Structure 1
Amino acid sequence: MMANAQEVSGIKLKTSAYSLKKAKKQDKVYINSFNVFFEIYKEISDKKAGYKGTRGKVVGDAKVSLGVGLKGVDIAAVQQKTDLLYQETIEKIKASGYQLVSVDEAKNIESFEGFETYQGPLLLEKEELPGVIQCVPSGYSFLAKVPKKTEVGKSVAKLTDKFNFTKLNEKPTISKELGDVMVIDVNMYVMFTEAPKPGFNLGSLDKVAKVKINTNYRLVDRYTVVNSGSQKKSLLGVSVAGNKIATDVLTQFSVVYGKNKIGGSALASYNGGLKKSLEINGVLKKEKIKAYQAQQTIAPTLNNPAYQKIGGITLATIENRFSKNASWVEVDGAKHSDGLYNACHLFLEQNLKEVFD
């Protein structure tokens, strides 16, 4: 049942299926992943490089950074909603006549050799997804390779790109090794920022580093998360390396069944995504948040203190400018978590019908 407040826009699935009826003839399901990702902070930056122009003109560097975060998010409420989404999913699967394959059984197959068992509730943050929290539901266990896990508070871990989950091309093998069961992966991304359309223009301020962030709370179809590259502490209190990374994320409900003897592809498959993002209303208003930093330009005019002659050589002193801006958007914690639940619930409900009805 959907929460009373925070309506979502009409959903349109984008699906593809191959021999799904064949997969539904067996009676076991292994849930390989089940995650709700939600964004609570976004930081972007821009830089204009300085240069030396004609007739002694000099232009300095300009760099601007803009951060936008959500204030008032109830993390515990999001965890509860994630738990509810997972429970509804497994109840639907069981009610359709299927048994769930446990992690204890799955960990014994060759594909999961060297993997460790982890159990929710967990809040995780990956280096390649800065500002985005991964919520793992209570009662759900999964297998992954983690060379090192650092606890930060209660039920919180730092995950790096070395946190190895199973890859898409490995799913048919997992299905086969488990006795040709359906392997399901569910990953949903709820974001509050979006990339602006081209055309952000500051008129005559052509020598300007400029950034813009648009706010729009939604369950995304597809989105690119960019690590700004600056050295900082993560949202969960862990120092994050400064490598600039662009990571594409996709809200998806996928099913893989069996493995072909020739080629190794799946005997049957299903992929369910969104044709367009599912907007969540009543949580935050759409805004355009901008920041800019102009470059300094100097020219060798009479008595300009920026220019000095030393030993017959003219030296110019130019300022390299940097500005950092932060903006916080206040949200109601209950409305935020209700909206997240409503969007994810609708997405899961539609995909579960496609697969199991």
Structure 2
Amino acid sequence: MKTKLTSLLLFVVLLFIQNVFAQELGEFKPKEDTFGLGKLKSKPKKIYISNFSINYQLFNVKQKTNKGGSLFRDKGVQGDATAELMVGLGSLSESDFQLIANNLYQDFVSQIKSKGFEIISADVAGKTNTYEGFTKAKGPFVIASDKPGIITAVPEGFEFYYMDRSKVGKALAAKFGAMNTTQQSLSKDLDDVVVVAVDLYVFFMKDVYAFQGNAANIKIKTQLSLVANETIAAKSDDKGIFKKQVEYITGANTINFTCGKYPIGGSAESVYTGLLKKDFTIENVIDEKVIQSYAKGAVDFVGTDTYFGKYYEAENKSSAKTTIIPVDTKKYNEGVIKAGKEFLKYHLDAFSSEFK
């Protein structure tokens, strides 16, 4: 009896420890934008996955400058101030990002099939007029995004088509992207199948307001999450004359289902876009804290007397801070997979219910 009681107590303790250290998620607040879902009841229960990508924020570099100059009524001068801040995640590798993408994609495909949908292959989609001139690619791979500090993972076994910007030019491709009707055109070409596109963003930080005054001040807060709609500033590496020194990186987790196309106007007949109302946080993976870089130019109130009058000279000041944030890779992988599955399952369930 005593042995059984001891075993029971040990089991309770182990269970308590497991719960304490279990991967925790913040509040999940989904939302959706929909149109014409009533038409889905007459559509075939078939799906083509046109996009499935996971975008990870790996690092961020910032810079702010406060120009000095003459003080009030020319009673001195202040030097320039420049603050730089670089933050990045440690320990993670391409294999971690690939593992997450593969896991989420495999689970998503299984969920689709379990709901009775037939999945259309990339080979079939590639024969459509919509994809004429597009280039075919296949995962698995991890590449650097065109957004600073972001890398993108495409899952193993996933085949897709994209417009090669090198062939049409970046400006023209951007113009096409702004008036993109690929999803509904593809759906129409495939006899009104559902076309789904998944684009997930995993950020580990967000910008925090920092009062500038007569200084250069940068603040960020570390927080791992699937972001609802986050815009973060980053220093641009492009010094071209037509480029800004600051770029703004926007991440928004979305899953978009499109079906059918109206012959007049070209808009989709049915659209379901799954989103988040607020960031879906992933707890206990990285330390949540505020990181700051601050610089203020020196001030010369006294000056030096010269034959021509007072001469003022103040030293420029700079602050550069680099912070590498330790990451428990196991918890990172488990947390992002758990959050991603919850996001995708919720919206797939909500969308597929329209076919009943």
Would you say same fold, with TM above 0.5? Answer: yes
**Residue 21 of structure 1: how far off its partner (Å):** 4.5
Q: Classify 1:247/1:40 alpha carbon distance in 2 versus 1 (closer, same or farther; 3 Å).
A: closer
Letter in 1 for 2:22: A
CA contact (8 A) 1:5 1:338 kept: no
Counterpart-to-counterpart distance in 1, 2:250 and 2:60:
15
How many angstroms does 1:244 deviate by? 2.7
Give the aligned partner of residue 218 of structure 1.
225
Q: Does 1:9 align with 2:5?
A: no
CA contact 2:97–2:142 (8 Å) conserved in 1: no
Alignment of 1:44-63 (within 5 A): 44-53=62-71, 54-63=73-82
1:253 positional shift: 0.9
- When residues 275 and 90 of structure 1 are mapped into structure 2, their CA distance, relative to the original with a 3 A threshold, is same
Q: How far, CA to CA, are the matches of 1:354 and 1:58 in structure 2?
A: 63
User: Which protein has the larger Cα radius of gyration, Structure 1 or Structure 2?
Assistant: 2
Matched residues, number: 325
Q: Assess if the C-alpha contact under 8 Å between 1:146 and 1:162 holds in 2.
A: no
Q: 2:336 is matched with which residue? A: 340
| CA apart distance, 1:243 | 4.8
> Counterpart of 1:18?
35
Task: Report the secondary structure of 2:198's partner residue.
Answer: strand
How far is 1:288 from its partner? 0.6
- Structure 1 residue 31: Cα displacement: 0.9
Q: Secondary structure at the match of 2:157?
A: coil
Aligned to 2:11: none
Q: Pick from 323, 327, 331 the counterpart of residue 327 of structure 1.
A: 323
Match of 1:227 among 230, 234, 252: 234
Cα contact 1:29–1:183 (8 A) shared by 2: yes
In the alignment, the residues of structure 1 paired with residue 131 and residue 247 of structure 2 have an alpha-carbon distance, to the nearest angstrom, of: 28
Aligned pairs (5 A) from 1:1-357: 5-23=22-40, 25-53=43-71, 54-127=73-146, 129-147=147-165, 168-196=180-208, 198=209, 200=210, 206-230=213-237, 243-299=245-301, 301=302, 304=303, 307=304, 309=306, 312=308, 315-357=311-353
> Offset of 1:162 from its aligned partner?
8.5
The 3 A distance-change label for structure 1 pair 18 and 147 is: closer
How far apart, CA to CA, are the structure 1 residues paired with 2:313 and 2:23? 55
**1:9 aligned partner, one-letter code:** G
Displacement, 1:286?
1.2
Greater share of helix residues, 1 or 2?
2
Q: Which runs of 5+ in 2 are unaligned?
A: 1-20
Residue type at the aligned position of 2:23: Q
Report the 3-state secondary structure (helix = DSSP H, G, I; strand = E; otherwise coil) of the residue aligned with 1:44: strand
Work out whether residues 207 and 232 of structure 2, in 8 Å CA contact, stay in contact via their aligned partners in 1. no
Alignment RMSD: 2.7
CA distance in 2, matches of 1:308, 1:109: 80
Pick closer, same or farther for the CA change 1:139–1:81 going to 2, 3 Å.
same
Offset of residue 287 of structure 1? 0.1
Structure 2 CA distance for partners of 1:55 and 1:63, relative to 1, 3 Å: same
Q: 1:27 to 1:296 in 2, by over 3 A?
A: same
Distance 1:296 1:10 in 2: 46
C-alpha contact 2:45 2:118 (8 A) present in aligned 1: yes
Runs of 5+ consecutive residues of structure 1 not aligned to the other structure: 150-159, 233-240
